Structure 1
């Protein structure tokens, strides 16, 4: 069903190196620990960090924090397995695998390759659609913030999402012409700075609210049945909160593609492990701060998002700036998640039609201020069509973020846990039924249960969203 174009090595290992290319004949990789860390932080710290107060309100202080740290450890642990699989059969001197599918093909083979491709690429496409919606919500929040500032907090302020979605799409059409993941570093650095900025603003505003003493009611067990929620709502919201936390770390979807940007010395797997540790550690600190301080500020009535749902109204200029940072971050994050899918489609087309000039020929042109740019007609047409498609879907289905929660639930287990653990067992030849084998398979089973529970919670949320669905209605 799915295959990946595997470029034959133009230069075999052990041959005389060719200037400007790596040992596999591809363009010289220049990625470092810092660029990989930026890619990870861009992928992991999303605007969802501002919804963690809501998650802790459903789970409680203690359980919420423990679950946050637990999934951070699990994600880092399985990411180290995946990093070791980039080359096969040896993690340092083996043959490169350019994508997640290539890694699964090298170590597991069979129908698992197609399962991996389906889980990965459906998730990547879903994320880009979801980011289009989320970016427009943040931009709408800027307009509403200014309206509330001028007319008062009780004013009926309505701002259309669709012009912002269209503008976001136009920006993505331009950025999508960046040829490959290797050239995204500058965008990821900007996006990472933006994510730190709005997360820090959210934390700062929550601290100020706590200091003012005007805080919401908190409980050791989180939301109270019969007061804040019904018993069934408590259960489904807990499932949803656990799923939100689990998926908030799921960067393994694009880990191999990030690792393929790294220079070969020091060994890619060692650099990737360090970058994963830095990214997950940094993320966890921000998650705990946003979750705990946000819950302390808002209590059991914590909003789904500090900024776009107006947990804060003042200072309005700071709210505007934070929402602008979210939109800028999502511009970069869209590309981080979109590029692997772009390359998957393009490499398959190159394999199928190797003689086509439309698909394969690159044209160079000098653009003022930007220097020399490479243009490929197929890339120009196909990526433009893709961005238009994701933008239109976002406009038609404004509840798509609820669908994205379900996609996250379905892809978390295979991509973050099952495949990395299975490949680690195959690579290191862990003895069947040994204590280590049993422990690893227990981890797989526990995470499968979490994914199933989160999927149920997502389906309940999706049903509610569909019931309230009004085509081409403003989201806010």
Structure 2
């Protein structure tokens, strides 16, 4: 503690842990959160609401926004330990778990967090390429008609997405990603707004009529009883995991200035980010369901719920692509930094690990190049791109990884760390409430995992590699 204080007192360039001063604010942290939470999955919420209906759809949206807000507040108070304002920093989620709960739970946390982060980056590669394909198809449909055969593969688009990620992955750390997150957040507002606007236009069409219901798809009319059950499980899981950003929340908080206290600023950022997210989720989900009813497509910008105006659909998909390019980096940075920290610790004298070169790039400025960072991050992006190409139905696999990691990362670890940090007495009202929340979310995780496994099994039955979409 004394060592940390000496840095902040005697050198204005450094924080109390000896690192360069953090400069983030509630605005940049909110942008990181919106970037991490609002993905292209926002446009699939109409499908999720269609499976659940008006009543359950609204309840589930509100319920999981509140759960996410609560657990993000708990994590914010655990950033410093043992005291939430003056304690020692925990710069990463895993460092926090290790510091507060110990080594055994730390290893379980590492497995859950990195499996989810890797899965999400692969999913982003696939989803970004789907939006690129959608632009090409949209222009084809506009030119040749909606019944034209506009099939194409998305492998070349995955490669393009991967090239962009290789370039952006050379940004050294999270602290220098603020501009990228702000751009990505603006893009998420853009394509969500386009989806909302197109839905409103469809609802306002003269003579428009669509079937919706309080309980969603009708058994015996739209789906069988078994399909209704699986779809309901998947819809609950989709909405629950759509809010999940706990695996990067600590890294986001570690970008904040130390004054005012980081936990106060992070709570404000979480509140702003989740309010914005819930607002757009509700609009996209509910208006999308009103526009398409029980026949809502999985994603109404890439699944061609709308064909015209084709240029607006193109812009919406372009916004999705730009957003995913940024979101990939937000989720990949913890993986990058973990491997680089491990390498520096194992070989502290190695120039490969530690030496940085200043490379002047015209119109951009100075790029700080490190050979290990350049090599390792490039290899990571190439591997995730190849996996996305090999398993083009990987979104269901990501759904399963999300199901498995949702309970520990979003609920279990935050509640357990809070109970330990705040020294909450066993069997007190707060203690019982936290345990009940954990039990409920465990059930949600199991239900969603079952739905994801069923989706993977269905995909495997019809999987033909390297076929046109």
The change in CA–CA distance for 1:405 and 1:390 in structure 2 (over 3 A counts) is same
CA contact (8 A) 2:153 2:466 kept: no
Secondary structure of the corresponding residue to residue 367 of structure 2: strand
Aligned partner of 2:372 in structure 1 is 378
Task: Write the distance in 2 (CA, Å) between the matches of 1:101 and 1:223.
Answer: 41
State how 1:354-433 maps to structure 2 within 5 Å: 354-433=348-427
Secondary structure, in 3 states, of the residue corresponding to 1:374?
A: strand
- Write the deviation string for residues 111-148 of structure 1: whole angstroms up to 9, x where unpaired: 10001111111100110100000000000000000000
What is the DSSP-based 3-state SS (H/G/I as helix, E as strand, rest coil) of the residue aligned with 1:269? Answer: helix
User: Could you say what secondary structure the match of 1:364 adopts?
Assistant: strand
Which deviates the most, 267-276 or 159-168?
159-168
Q: Find 1:12's aligned residue among 4, 11, 25.
A: 4
TM-score by length of 2: 0.98
Q: Which whole-Å CA distance do the structure 2 matches of 1:472 and 1:100 have between them?
A: 38
How has the CA–CA distance of structure 1 residues 24 and 144 changed in structure 2, closer, same or farther, with 3 Å as cutoff?
same
Partner of 1:155: 148
Structure 1 position 315 matched with structure 2 position 309: yes
Aligned to 2:225: 231
Shift of 1:10: 11
TM-score (norm 1): 0.97
Q: Which residue of 1 aligns with 2:292?
A: 298
For residue 352 of structure 1, the aligned residue among 337, 346, 363 is 346
Matched, 1:446 2:446: no
CA contact (8 A) 2:128 2:321 kept: yes
**Deviation at residue 424 of structure 1 after TM alignment:** 0.6
Distance in 2 (CA, whole Å) between partners of 1:249 and 1:131 is 16
Q: Which residue of 2 aligns with 1:6?
A: none
CA distance in 1, matches of 2:294, 2:282: 17
- Residue 11 of structure 1, CA deviation: 4.9
Structure 2 CA distance, aligned partners of 1:258 and 1:17?
A: 26
- State the 1:221 CA deviation: 1.1
CA deviation profile, 1:178-219 (whole Å, cap 9, x unmatched): 000000001001100000000000000000111114343111
1:104-119 map, 5 Å: 104-119=97-112
Deviating runs (4+, > 6 A) in structure 1? none
Q: How does 1:179-258 map to 2 (within 5 A)?
A: 179-212=172-205, 213-258=207-252
Taking a change above 3 Å as real, the CA distance of residues 326 and 215 of structure 1, as seen in their structure-2 partners, is: farther
Superimposed CA distance per residue, residues 208-241 of structure 1 (whole angstroms, 9 cap, x where no aligned partner): 1111143431111110001111101111110110
Count of paired positions: 467
Alignment partners' CA distance in 2, 1:224 and 1:93: 56
3-state SS in 1 of match to 2:359: strand
Deviations 1:302-328 (A, max 9, x none): 000011000000000000000000000
* Runs (5+) with no aligned partner, structure 2: none
User: Gapped runs of 5+ residues in structure 1?
Assistant: 1-8
Secondary structure of the 1:372 match is: strand
Considering only aligned residues, what root-mean-square deviation do their CA atoms show, in Å? 1.1
The aligned residue for residue 139 of structure 1 is 132
Correspondence 1:19-34 to 2 at 5 A: 19-34=12-27
Q: CA deviation at 1:162?
A: 1.3
